[in-house]
């Protein structure tokens, strides 16, 4: 589908929330975020696809989502995505060799996985488009971004989407979904740094224009706050999540919560410095923030006090978005990007 024409729903299933973004003719029309039932997702894996399809079917009806074609964001626990270089070869040769590039990263037989790739450099692109040997010979190799996902997982997702009334047309890893934001938002002229403040993990994505450069994942996410709040108030984790989301009795300002914010900020600073060092000293203009953590002002202030780069919203990628959708779209950035695929 041409993202500038047609209508599609991007779906991201996180550890605690499901996000659905409806994009029509390249414009964001609606963004929906709802909490997942307790225990539906564990360690990035869906435990009941039937429960997932029921949830999505109810969501479609409740929010009157009248779109059939859907694009799924594949979580890191399901999809292995990596960037690498290889010798020049034809597309047929590349398809044959792709499984061997993942043998250290996947479990089970190679034939049990789907593989896909994107060529990063324009010189390598000439080979795939049928360019002559002289054109391709100018490059020393192919710079690739490739992904592998289990056929079983894709069959389960496709069946769940079908039962919910969707046609699952495509599935993309987080990295490609976020690349789409820069590509179709027209902001490809500088280095981008996107900080996803998620519940199970905090992830820092680095892009050069619309080219993926690197990903750093912190060992913990906002769930670390739930552990602190549960101990401080002597409640179970489920109640602690409710306290965190409502700011119960000023729990987000607890000293131990501030320790978590500062720890996250320091780790993000280390990640930014590492990416800057590995890319030869290039620095992004600012850091875009997305994910559920954007609603935690104490965390945002801790990040601002620690990082030496401005924190900004995601509006650079969708300048014409109505103001009432800005926060919702930032919560569901990957879902928006998937809908543009």
Identify the three-state secondary structure at position 296: coil
The C-alpha atoms of residue 239 and residue 133 are separated, in whole angstroms, by: 63
Q: Please tell me the predicted confidence (pLDDT) of residue 126.
A: 43
Rounded to 5 degrees, what are φ and ψ at 283?
Answer: -125, 140
Contact call for residues 120 and 81 (beta carbons, < 8 A): no
Say how far apart CA 162 and CA 155 lie, in whole Å. Answer: 10
Report the pLDDT value the prediction gives residue 242, as an integer from 0 to 100: 92
Q: In angstroms, rounded to a whole number, what is the distance separating the alpha carbons of residues 313 and 238?
A: 29
Domains in the chain, start-ordered, CATH in brackets? 7-77+151-188+318-324+331-339 (3.30.420.40), 79-149 (3.30.1490), 195-315 (3.30.420.40)
**176, 187, 230 from 234: Cα distances, Å:** 41, 47, 5
Q: What is the pLDDT, as a whole number, of residue 281? A: 61
**pLDDT number for residue 6:** 82
- The model's pTM is 0.88
- The total of other beta-carbon atoms located within 10 Å of residue 266's CB is 13
Mean pLDDT, consecutive 10-residue stretches, the chain (341 aa), reads 75 95 92 93 92 97 96 93 88 93 90 91 46 48 91 97 97 92 77 91 87 85 94 95 93 96 94 78 84 94 93 86 88 94 87
Terminal CA-to-CA distance of the chain, rounded, Å? 7
pLDDT for position 2? 59
């Amino acid at each position: 589908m041409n993202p500038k024409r047609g209508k599609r729903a991007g779906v991201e299933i996180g550890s605690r929330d499901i996000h659905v973004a409806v994009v029509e003719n390249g414009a964001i029309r609606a963004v929906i975020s709802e909490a997942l039932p307790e225990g539906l997702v564990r360690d990035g894996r869906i435990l009941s696809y039937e429960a997932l399809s029921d949830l999505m079917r109810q969501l479609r009806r409740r929010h009157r989502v009248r779109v059939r074609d859907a694009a799924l964001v594949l979580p890191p626990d399901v999809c292995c995505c990596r960037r690498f270089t290889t010798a020049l070869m034809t597309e047929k040769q590349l398809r044959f060799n792709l499984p061997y590039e993942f043998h250290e990263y996947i479990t089970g037989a190679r034939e049990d996985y789907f593989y896909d790739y994107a060529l990063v450099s324009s010189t390598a692109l000439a080979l795939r488009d049928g360019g002559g040997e002289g054109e391709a010979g100018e490059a020393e190799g192919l710079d690739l971004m490739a992904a592998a996902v289990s056929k079983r997982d894709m069959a389960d997702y496709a069946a769940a989407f079908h039962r919910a009334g969707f046609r699952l047309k495509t599935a993309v890893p987080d990295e490609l979904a976020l690349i789409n934001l820069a590509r179709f938002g027209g902001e490809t002229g500088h280095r981008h740094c996107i900080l996803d403040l998620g519940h199970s993990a905090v992830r820092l994505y680095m892009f050069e224009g619309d080219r993926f450069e690197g990903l750093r994942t912190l060992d913990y996410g906002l769930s670390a706050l739930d552990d602190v709040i549960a101990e401080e108030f002597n409640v179970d984790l489920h109640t602690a999540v409710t306290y965190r989301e409502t700011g119960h009795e000023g729990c987000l300002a607890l000293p131990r919560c501030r320790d978590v914010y500062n720890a996250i900020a320091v780790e993000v600073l280390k990640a930014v410095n590492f990416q800057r060092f590995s890319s030869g000293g290039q620095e992004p203009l600012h850091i875009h923030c997305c994910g559920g953590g954007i609603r935690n002002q104490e965390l945002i202030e801790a990040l601002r006090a620690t990082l030496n780069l401005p924190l900004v919203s995601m509006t650079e990628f969708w300048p014409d978005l109505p103001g009432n959708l800005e926060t919702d779209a930032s919560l569901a950035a990957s879902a928006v990007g998937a809908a543009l695929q």
